[in-house]
Chain A
Amino acid sequence: MRAADLVERVPLVTAGTDAVTAARVLAEHRLTGLVVADDDGVPVAVLGGPDVLRLVVPEYVLTNPALAHVYDEEGSEEVVARLRERTLDDLLRSRPHAARPLPSVAPDDTLIEIASLMCEEQATIVIVRERHGGAFLGVVTLSRLAAALLTTLGEGTDAVQARLDVDVLPHDAAGPVAGDPDAGTADAAP
């Protein structure tokens, strides 16, 4: 199996996407990261799930993790309410390193090439694009790669096969990400 066999569509977000929408995309599609695209729908960054969580955790708690323990339940919920005030742009601007260089594979890359890149970049989503900066084809997610590895080992089950057969987004899905102020950005890979 090669990357072209595993490529699938995931919702795209933009720098202007608010944190509530970003959280909804993660939750509804059971994703472990987000693909940030520009206004033309071309991916510009991949954010890991923990990077996105930085939108809800105050900087001073990130600096001193022991502080996370001193909140009571009410205080914790007040901190969570911060999500409403943040956008992905806050994250990209305050922590440029959170947006890793685009981890990309080519359609003919093998499973071990994809796995190696995910290990190296600590990424759970990698971009699939034609060689030499060519067209963006979609992404490979960690769960689909795991399904492919199991199938190669002859350990596939119905659930594993279903993960290979069904994309995160239905193939005919279209339209902007819910709540995204930038209605011009497509929600899925072409």
Chain B
Amino acid sequence: MTTQAWAAVVVFTVAYVLIATERVPRVAAALGGAAAMVLIGATDGEHAFFDTETGVDWNVVFLLLGMMIIVGVLRQTGLFEYLAVWCAKRARGRPFAVMTMLVLLTAVASAALDNVTTVLLVAPVTLLVCERLGVAPIPFLLAEAMASNIGGTATLIGDPPNIIIASRADLSFTDFLVNLAPVVVALMAVFVALTWFLFGRSMRYDAERARRVMALEEREAISDPRLLRRSLVVLGAVLVGFTLHSTFHLEPSVVALLGAGAAVLVSRLSADSYLDDVEWETLVFFMGLFVMVGALVNLGVVERLASAATEAVGDRYLLASTGLLFGSAVISGIVDNIPYVATVAPLVGDLVSASDGSAQARSLWWALALGADLGGNATAVGASANVVITGIAARNGHPISFWQFTKYGSIVAAVTVTLSWPYLWLRYFVLGG
């Protein structure tokens, strides 16, 4: 490798360590790393802005932006508050039943929107319901964070790593549904059973407390029914658009942006109200990250690693899938799964491109998605949803320590990732996809 390539590796490593250790804000680390890449000549404006292989993947950035705007409009309707209180009341105020309903709501909403936004909306209602029930909210919040990561695994838009994988691998919304949703449904069933052993066994029903939950007035949460109806129509159209995007040759990002435009038009809200929900920090972080990883691609570092990996793997895709599944799970538990997937995706892309295009080779993408998404449950910093939940809990006087999260998260991650392996093996290596 050239001196410049080694310099790029050093810049990347330093930035990655800073992101992982949170010694500096992650946006500063990513942008600083991107700037350093430009300064050492590892990339330039042409490569950074106009080439998705070696620069910013605008499909990812604009898909996220579009979904954030749609959710920004949707959250003004009070729908999530309505649904969460409705769930608690359908569970008749029985603590474990309430937890199960909220966990299922979180998982489904995470798949249909995205998991970070979902926990942002469900966690506050959970705190209210728990206060009414007189139970500790931490088990509920932990279960929701984990359910959001599992549920979000099912779709292209459910978890940020999936968006990156879809763009790099040119996979459609339907590809994700067909390949990941079945195993996610099974994993959710296992997860609900797990929550009984982890949290539910010690919960006690209190009739007086349950009455207080039943007294909540969920309909009052919906302040503008007309806006709700219009937003739901837009969301439905967007989800249909995602399902059919490959038929109409529209990128998912374009579908999301069209949906965002429609949501803004029909809602007639002021720009402030829906732009408030756009996480500009996350979008800028993605851009910096893409420029850094793109510089490594540009200098041939990723290609070199990929050819070494291709040589090592040969046609032993089961071994590679297994390694990728469990390796991704472990790494995603330690560092945020977004930078991890952004880094590994080009490498996996080269590996799959060099293959015969069989279902076994393509299973590498699903192994990466399952490992990174489900492995993110292992610790409080493994996934963005976990960081959001622990932040909300702390602000409301219920701090969740890193080890408290890890104690439960590592069990859930280990069980779900381990159960994903027989699925990969059976579906792609025994049944042949």
Contacts and interface: CB of A to CB of B under 8 A. Distances in A.
Are the chains A and B members of one assembly? yes
A113 interface: no
A57 B288 CA distance: 39
A69 B131 contact: no
B252 interface: no
A66 B221 contact: yes
B101 to A, nearest CB: 16
B121 interface: yes
Contact of B221 (A60, A67, A75): A67
A61 interface: yes
B281 interface: no
Interface in B197-234: 212, 215-218, 220-223
A60 B85 contact: no
The size bracket of the interface on B is: 20 to 34
Nearest to A90: B397
Contacts of A61: 124, 128
B183 interface: no
Interface string B75-90: 0001001000100000
Contacts, number: 57
B396 interface: yes
Among the interface residues B127, B218, B397, which one has the most CB atoms of the partner chain A within 10 A? B127
A59 B393 CA distance: 10
Contacts of B128: 58, 60-61, 67, 70
Contacts of B121: 64
A71 to B, nearest CB: 7
A74 interface: yes
Interface residues of A, number: 15
Nearest to A94: B395
A70 B396 contact: no
A185 to B, nearest CB: 27
Interface string A75-86: 100000000000
Contacts of B223: 66, 69
A19 to B, nearest CB: 15
A64 B395 CA distance: 14
A24 to B, nearest CB: 25
Contacts of A94: 395
A120 interface: no
A72 interface: yes
A15 B169 CA distance: 57
A66 B217 CA distance: 11
Interface string A27-69: 0000000000000000000000000000000111101101101
A53 B216 CA distance: 22
B92 interface: no
A67 B223 CA distance: 11
B132 A64 contact: no
B85 to A, nearest CB: 5
Contacts of A69: 78, 217, 220-221, 223
A64 B81 contact: yes
Contacts of A59: 395-397
Contacts of B124: 60-61, 63-64, 67
B392 interface: yes
A15 to B, nearest CB: 18
Given A58-B128, A60-B127, A71 B395 contact: no
B125 interface: yes
Contacts of B215: 72, 74-75
A105 B128 CA distance: 43
Contacts of A70: 81, 85, 128, 216-218, 220-221
A31 to B, nearest CB: 28
B32 to A, nearest CB: 27
A70 to B, nearest CB: 5
B220 A60 contact: no
B125 A67 contact: yes
Q: Which of B123, B124, B125, B392 neighbours the largest number of chain A CB atoms within 10 Å of its CB?
A: B124
Contact of B396 (A60, A66, A72, A75): A60
B397 to A, nearest CB: 8
B127 A75 contact: no
Contacts of B222: 66
Contacts of B395: 59, 94
Contacts of B212: 74-75
Interface in B132-157: 132
Contacts of A71: 216-217
B392 A72 contact: no
A66 B81 CA distance: 7
A82 to B, nearest CB: 10
A62 to B, nearest CB: 9
Interface of A: 58-61, 63-64, 66-67, 69-72, 74-75, 94
10 contacts: A58-B396, A59-B397, A60-B124, A60-B396, A61-B124, A61-B128, A66-B78, A67-B128, A69-B221, A74-B215
**Nearest 9 CB-CB pairs, A to B?**
A69-B220, A60-B124, A66-B78, A60-B127, A64-B124, A72-B215, A66-B81, A66-B221, A59-B396
Given A60-B124, A67-B124, 7 more contacts: A59-B396, A60-B127, A64-B81, A66-B78, A66-B221, A72-B217, A74-B212
Interface of B: 78, 81, 85, 121, 123-125, 127-128, 131-132, 212, 215-218, 220-223, 392, 395-397
